[in-house]
């Protein structure tokens, strides 16, 4: 397979200032006519190359003359020599949306026709130079059967619609903003709109519509509210106003990703739009608001200023994730939001950075760009923007983004353009900071604090080290903004306020004088740098910090560290006393100054994977036993407190307010501890909650607990849940996922049975992820020594690759961590990868992930 290198970038030989598309839509056979105005870019005599695959070429002409005999058809496109400076190229192709199971290009989903073009889907619709640095003005004509496809949408403004022959109708759309082809979109189908409007800061009225299946119209209100809040927030915080008269969102059931920011026509996986209390959990509500905001924010960070090439992906994605995270933080509790974001960074990105698929946020090369829509490019990318925000301060950061948007509006830009704008607007030198863009791996930050009682002076030594990653054996020090405080060991007072230390070298020392008392170190407050911290602190001091640190995130961290150290010591066979952990949990649970949402986050144990990351050789079974043991101990010892918490969080009826969401969160955490304590009445409490729940958070919380046990209530609840929601795909996804995540030893047999359930299909990515993706992240089951877990996921990846290679490729990463396991498991994991690689006609996507995972 061809490897694309970052340094091989060359400007395009030909530009395409305008394109007119004409679609004769039909699920089986769609005809696409395209008229491209092409313009030579620079002084050269190279031919015009048009990317294209999966389509039948019916006609090709240059300047109105048939040129089928001159055009060279290659495997991945067309090549034609052109004599002049500007020409008109016309093509006609036939494509089949219905047989497009890859869900890239134009495809059918539950009776709709829709497109997905990022990253390289446009070439599956028509022949075109499919690269993001070619910006074109689009006019689109679409025609379809009026009964089957009454709604016809594309980017920009609707300029004309009307009837044509044979029960067909048409619509004409015109997008005034030049855009790369990955932002092109079209939707046709029987859709209903939930409408609203937004008045921009300059007084322009924007018509908003969320298009869904008519039955789902009442599930769109939350998404619409989120959209309006996001529009107002972007004006207030970034000065960015919406630029067209319409903004449309469409929800589709079959989608490879979360959503897509096509200019003025965002297309969403329906799981990130549809919500009502009966079917969506509080976590779903949060995710919907976050993704709606994310896609909307792309209108500036991604669309008005786009990416020059796909190595710049983090330019739009890292920045936009930072923007959506800040939006959600402003909407609710910033501390809880930060905890959630850091938890997912640690769960998804840290392992990626520590394994064979590690890459910088600007990768050096790729085989298939779809494999680089990763936690690194997105979430580590966001952390890197966040660090710039800290180093510059909010005001200069805003000056930097203003300059960036102004300077590059209407352009395809680079990450370097962004950093340069930040640097220029702020006057802060970011030379060394740029290493973050090209260096993979999570830095380890070592901290040691020495106290001199005689002089009342503390000396803090910070040092950093980044372990080697594939193809990067040597690492340079990176710029680390480390927020610290010193907390008095007696009084619990913050002795120095918060200080931002900027570590730029391998190691540096800092002195703090005239301290009133011996201090404890509060480090990497609010997770100021995306690092792991190595800091020898006793369990007693961690417990003290967990109760006294004035930064809520640091309190959470101290608690997590305390629990993690305990579990790691137990896995290593050390005799450690759980008393300090139990007391710290008790103190947090009974602290009246803390809100429920925070308490819930703080008392959840670090995941099994987090424990595994601390060990040289991972034994998932032993880790699970130790973690279960601690949960049981906490459940039993603090039974009364869990019961109190549970009762105090009960509410007479469902409300969607931050207070009510926090209460439900703590209530369900308390329930899970009661169940972990194996208390005789836990299943009946859970069943009662399940039965009388007036919302999905409580129903799902009860099911999560029951599914791990052997009580008769388990089967009752699973059956009742299925019967209640059959036909509702998004909820049935939960039913599959809950079972795939079960901690019961028979989970593998059950999952294999579920793969044969009439509702299971590999064709729908949400369903495939719900069962296989969830199971592959159920460490104790996936890594079962029988090898059955590996075998099952391997079979599924091979089968899924034929249908949807992008989705299949995303399931390979867990195998790539084989080096971390004992030889018995490692060998089976390697064999699984080899079996995948020996499959005939493997996709580029799966080949890249599996071959890199074996190294």
Q: What is the CA radius of gyration of the chain?
A: 28
For Zn ion, the closer CB: 386 or 627: 386
Residue 87 three-state SS? strand
Residue 94 three-state SS? strand
- Give the one entry of ligand HT7, Zn ion, none that residue 373 binds, where binding means its C-beta sits below a cut-off of 5 to 8 angstroms depending on kind: ligand HT7
What's the closest the beta carbon of residue 260 comes to ligand HT7, in angstroms? Answer: 4
Among 20, 50, 119, 800, binds ligand HT7 (CB under 6 A): 119
Q: Does 257 bind ligand HT7 (CB under 6 A)?
A: yes
Q: Does 118 bind ligand HT7 (CB under 6 A)?
A: yes
For ligand HT7, the closer CB: 27 or 180: 180
What's the closest the beta carbon of residue 483 comes to ligand HT7, in angstroms? Answer: 28
Q: Does 116 bind ligand HT7 (CB under 6 A)?
A: yes
What's the closest the beta carbon of residue 404 comes to Zn ion, in angstroms? Answer: 17
For Zn ion, the closer CB: 320 or 843: 320
- Give the one entry of Zn ion, ligand HT7, none that residue 522 binds, where binding means its C-beta sits below a cut-off of 5 to 8 angstroms depending on kind: none
For ligand HT7, the closer CB: 183 or 781: 183
Q: Which of 295, 423, 601, 613 is catalytic?
A: 295
Q: Are strands 72-74 and 77-80 parallel, antiparallel or unpaired?
A: antiparallel
Q: Does 806 bind ligand HT7 (CB under 6 A)?
A: yes
For ligand HT7, the closer CB: 252 or 430: 252
Cα 258 from Cα 265, distance rounded (Å): 15
For ligand HT7, the closer CB: 250 or 571: 250
Q: Does 801 bind ligand HT7 (CB under 6 A)?
A: no
For ligand HT7, the closer CB: 324 or 423: 324
Q: Which of residues 354-383 bind ligand HT7 (CB under 6 A)?
A: 370, 373
Cα 34 from Cα 95, distance rounded (Å): 13
For ligand HT7, the closer CB: 107 or 544: 107
DSSP string, 107-170: EEETTEEEEE-TTTTGGGTS-B---TT--EEEEEEEEEETTT--EEEESSEEEEEEE-STTEEE
Q: Locate 656 and state its tokens.
A: 């969607």
Does the annotation mark 295 as catalytic? yes
Q: Are 694 and 277 in contact, with CB atoms under 8 Å apart?
A: yes
- Give the one entry of ligand HT7, Zn ion, none that residue 568 binds, where binding means its C-beta sits below a cut-off of 5 to 8 angstroms depending on kind: none
What's the closest the beta carbon of residue 261 comes to ligand HT7, in angstroms? Answer: 5
- Give the one entry of ligand HT7, Zn ion, none that residue 370 binds, where binding means its C-beta sits below a cut-off of 5 to 8 angstroms depending on kind: ligand HT7
Cα 158 from Cα 181, distance rounded (Å): 19
Cα 102 from Cα 705, distance rounded (Å): 36
Cα 94 from Cα 99, distance rounded (Å): 12
For ligand HT7, the closer CB: 296 or 646: 296
**Which residue, among 808, 787, 788, has the nearest Cα to 797 in the 3D structure?**
808
In the numeric block, the tokens 């039993």 are attached to 636
Among 19, 24, 259, 670, binds ligand HT7 (CB under 6 A): 259
DSSP string, 402-435: HHHHHHHTTSEE-HHHHHHHHHHHH----TGGGH
Burial class (CB in 10 A: 0-12, 13-18, 19+), 744: middle
Q: Which of residues 304-333 bind ligand HT7 (CB under 6 A)?
A: 317
What's the closest the beta carbon of residue 536 comes to ligand HT7, in angstroms? Answer: 40
In the numeric block, the tokens 């058809």 are attached to 73
Among 234, 261, 549, 551, binds ligand HT7 (CB under 6 A): 261
Q: Choose the binding region for ligand HT7 from 94-102, 224-232, 292-300, 814-822 (rule: CB under 6 A).
A: 292-300
Q: Does 588 bind ligand HT7 (CB under 6 A)?
A: no
What's the closest the beta carbon of residue 256 comes to ligand HT7, in angstroms? Answer: 4
Q: Does 256 bind ligand HT7 (CB under 6 A)?
A: yes
Among 222, 294, 555, 825, binds ligand HT7 (CB under 6 A): 294
Q: Where on the chain is the footprint of Zn ion (CB under 5 A)?
A: 317, 320
Cα 123 from Cα 102, distance rounded (Å): 13
Q: Choose the binding region for ligand HT7 from 111-119, 470-478, 528-536, 539-547 (rule: CB under 6 A).
A: 111-119
Q: Are 61 and 128 in contact, with CB atoms under 8 Å apart?
A: no
Q: Under rule CB under 6 A, how many of the chain's residues touch ligand HT7? A: 15
Question: What residues contact residue 368 under an 8 Å CB cut-off, 6+ apart?
Answer: 809, 843, 844, 845, 848
What's the closest the beta carbon of residue 316 comes to ligand HT7, in angstroms? Answer: 7
- Give the one entry of Zn ion, ligand HT7, none that residue 469 binds, where binding means its C-beta sits below a cut-off of 5 to 8 angstroms depending on kind: none
Question: What residues contact residue 740 under an 8 Å CB cut-off, 6+ apart?
Answer: 747, 751, 754, 770, 771, 772, 774, 775, 778
Q: Are 432 and 480 in contact, with CB atoms under 8 Å apart?
A: no
Q: Locate 161 and state its tokens.
A: 């619609």
Q: What is the chain's length?
A: 855
| Residues of this chain that bind ligand HT7 (CB under 6 A) | 116, 118-119, 256-257, 259-261, 294-295, 298, 317, 370, 373, 806
- Name the residues annotated as catalytic: 295
């Amino acid at each position: 397979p061809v490897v694309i290198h970052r340094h091989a970038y060359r400007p395009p030989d030909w530009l395409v200032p305008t394109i007119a598309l004409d679609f004769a839509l039909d699920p089986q056979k769609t005809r696409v006519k395209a008229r491209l105005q092409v313009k030579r870019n620079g002084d050269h005599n190279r031919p015009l190359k048009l990317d294209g695959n999966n389509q039948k070429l019916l006609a090709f002409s240059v300047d109105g003359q048939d040129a089928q005999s001159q055009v060279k058809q290659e495997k991945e496109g067309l090549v034609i020599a052109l004599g002049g400076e500007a020409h008109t190229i016309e093509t006609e192709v036939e494509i089949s949306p219905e047989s497009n199971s890859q869900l890239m290009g134009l495809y059918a989903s539950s009776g709709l026709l829709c497109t997905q073009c990022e990253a390289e889907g446009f070439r599956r619709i028509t022949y075109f130079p499919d690269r993001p640095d070619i910006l074109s003005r689009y006019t689109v004509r679409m025609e379809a059967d009026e009964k089957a496809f009454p709604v016809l949408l594309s980017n920009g403004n609707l300029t004309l619609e009307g009837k044509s022959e044979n029960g067909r109708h048409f619509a004409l759309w015109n997008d005034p903003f030049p855009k790369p082809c990955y932002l092109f979109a079209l939707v046709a189908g029987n859709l209903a709109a939930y409408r609203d409007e937004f008045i921009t800061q300059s007084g322009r009225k924007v018509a908003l519509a969320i298009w869904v299946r008519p039955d789902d119209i009442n599930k769109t209100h939350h998404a619409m509210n989120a959209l309006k809040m996001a529009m107002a927030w972007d004006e207030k915080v970034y000065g960015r106003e919406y630029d067209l008269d319409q903004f449309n969102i469409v929800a589709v059931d079959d989608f490879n990703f979360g959503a897509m920011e096509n200019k003025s026509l965002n297309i969403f996986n329906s799981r990130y739009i549809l919500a009502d209390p009966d079917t969506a959990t509080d976590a779903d509500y949060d995710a919907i608001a976050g993704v709606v905001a994310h896609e909307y924010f792309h209108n500036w960070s991604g669309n008005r200023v786009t990416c020059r090439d796909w190595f710049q992906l983090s330019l739009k994605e890292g920045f936009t994730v930072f923007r959506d995270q800040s939006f959600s933080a402003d909407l609710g509790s910033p501390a809880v939001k930060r905890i959630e974001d850091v938890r997912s960074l640690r769960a998804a990105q840290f392992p990626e950075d520590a394994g064979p698929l590690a890459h910088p946020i600007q990768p050096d090369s790729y085989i298939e760009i779809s494999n680089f829509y990763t936690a690194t490019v997105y979430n580590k990318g966001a952390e890197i923007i966040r660090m710039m925000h800290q180093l510059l301060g909010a005001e200069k950061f805003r000056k930097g983004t203003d300059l960036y948007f102004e300077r590059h509006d209407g352009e395809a830009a680079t990450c370097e353009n962004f950093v340069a704008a930040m640097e220029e607007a702020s006057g802060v030198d970011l030379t060394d900071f740029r290493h973050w863009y090209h260096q993979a791996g999570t830095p380890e930050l070592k901290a040691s604090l020495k106290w001199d009682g005689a002089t009342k002076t503390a000396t803090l030594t910070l040092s950093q080290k980044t372990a080697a990653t594939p193809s990067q054996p040597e690492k340079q020090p990176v710029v680390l903004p480390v927020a610290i405080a010193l907390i008095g060991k007696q009084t619990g007072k913050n002795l120095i306020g918060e200080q931002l230390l900027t570590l730029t070298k391998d190691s540096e020392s800092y002195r703090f004088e005239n301290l009133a008392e011996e201090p404890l170190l509060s480090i990497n407050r609010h997770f100021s740098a995306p690092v792991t911290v190595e800091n020898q602190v006793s369990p007693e001091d961690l417990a003290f910090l967990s109760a006294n640190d004035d930064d809520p995130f640091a309190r959470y961290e101290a608690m997590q560290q305390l629990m993690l150290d305990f579990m790691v010591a137990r896995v290593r066979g050390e005799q450690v006393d759980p008393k300090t952990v139990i007391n710290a949990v008790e103190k947090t649970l009974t602290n009246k100054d803390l809100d429920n949402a925070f308490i819930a986050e703080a008392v959840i144990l670090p995941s099994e994977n987090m424990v595994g990351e601390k060990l040289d050789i991972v034994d998932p079974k032993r880790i699970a036993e130790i973690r279960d043991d601690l949960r049981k101990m906490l459940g039993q010892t603090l039974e009364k407190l869990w019961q109190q918490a549970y009762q105090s969080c009960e509410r007479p009826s469902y409300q969607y307010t931050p207070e009510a969401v926090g209460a439900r969160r703590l209530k369900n955490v308390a329930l899970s501890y009661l169940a972990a304590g194996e208390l005789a009445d836990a299943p009946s409490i859970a069943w009662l909650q399940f039965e009388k729940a007036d919302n999905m958070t409580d129903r799902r919380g009860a099911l999560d607990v029951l599914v791990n046990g052997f009580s008769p209530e388990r089967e009752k609840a699973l059956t009742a849940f299925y019967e209640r929601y059959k036909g509702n795909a998004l909820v049935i996804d939960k039913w599959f996922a809950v079972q795939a995540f079960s901690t019961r030893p028979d989970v593998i047999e059950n999952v294999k049975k579920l793969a044969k359930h009439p509702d299971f299909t590999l064709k729908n990515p949400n369903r495939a992820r719900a069962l296989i993706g969830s199971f592959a992240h159920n460490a104790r089951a996936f890594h079962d020594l029988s090898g059955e877990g590996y075998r099952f996921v391997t079979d599924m990846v091979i089968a899924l690759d034929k249908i949807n290679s992008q989705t299949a490729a995303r399931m390979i990463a867990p195998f790539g961590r084989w080096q971390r396991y004992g030889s018995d498991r490692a060998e089976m994991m390697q064999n699984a990868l080899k079996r995948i690689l020996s499959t005939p006609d493997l996709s580029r996507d799966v080949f890249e992930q599996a071959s890199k995972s074996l190294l």
